[in-house]
Amino acid sequence: MTESKAYVVQPDSGESYWQPVPANGFVEIHLSRHRVESRTPFESGVQSVAPGCFVREHAHDRHEELILVYQGEGEAIVDGETHPMRPGTTLFLGPDRKHKFVNTGSEDMRFFWVLMPGGLGDFFSAIGRARTPGEPAPAPFPRPENVAEIERRTVFADPSEVS
């Protein structure tokens, strides 16, 4: 058995990426397979979604996701059913569960996420732009033209194959 490790990640010390429309906002990746050795593979971080923006509907075909909202207000649409998102709301999303997050409030909606077995950081870095904490947000920018290919090679289900 290998020696166990401990990792402590302070705010604004993870890899961070501005996110394109429709989410805008940013993602900070706290723990990933590039940073931590774990017996059970996972990645975790935080995402900030700007007011009036949303994380588009999607599903993960081989992954489980855990979300904990800690700032702001919004809605989670999970398999077509709407649920409030407010500080303290926890969501567990198993494989192939369609989900969308909408910021309905007047401030950034922020949530902590865990994806098992991981790989979401690769997606965020491929579609986003490097972010330095404290810098002003860039003007909204589009998703890359090859976003469908990026999704296929990372952690997303083919929408036509999700029930």
Over its C-alpha atoms, the chain yields an Rg (Å, rounded) of 15
Q: How far apart are CA 147 and CA 163, in angstroms?
A: 22
Mean pLDDT of 155-160: 74
Q: Is residue 116 part of a domain?
A: yes
Q: How far apart are CA 41 and CA 126, in angstroms?
A: 20
Q: Is residue 19 part of a domain?
A: yes
Quote the pLDDT of residue 158: 73
How many helices and strands in the chain, by DSSP H and E? 2, 11
Q: How many domains are contained in the chain?
A: 1
Using alpha carbons only, what angle is made at residue 160 by residues 123 and 89, rounded to the nearest 5 degrees?
Answer: 55
**CA–centroid distance for 77 within its chain:** 15
Q: What is the mean pLDDT of the chain?
A: 92
Indicate which CATH number applies to the domain containing 19: 2.60.120.10
Q: Is residue 73 part of a domain?
A: yes
Structural domain harbouring 79: 15-135
Q: What percent of the chain has pLDDT over 70?
A: 94
pLDDT tens-digit map of 72-108:
999 999 999 999 999 999 999 999 999 999 999 999 9
Q: How far apart are CA 86 and CA 110, in angstroms?
A: 9
- Cis, bond preceding 22 (omega within 30 deg of 0): yes
Quote the pLDDT of residue 37: 83
Q: Is residue 154 part of a domain?
A: no
Quote the pLDDT of residue 39: 86
Q: Is residue 120 part of a domain?
A: yes
Mean pLDDT of 45-70: 95
Q: How far apart are CA 132 and CA 157, in angstroms?
A: 30
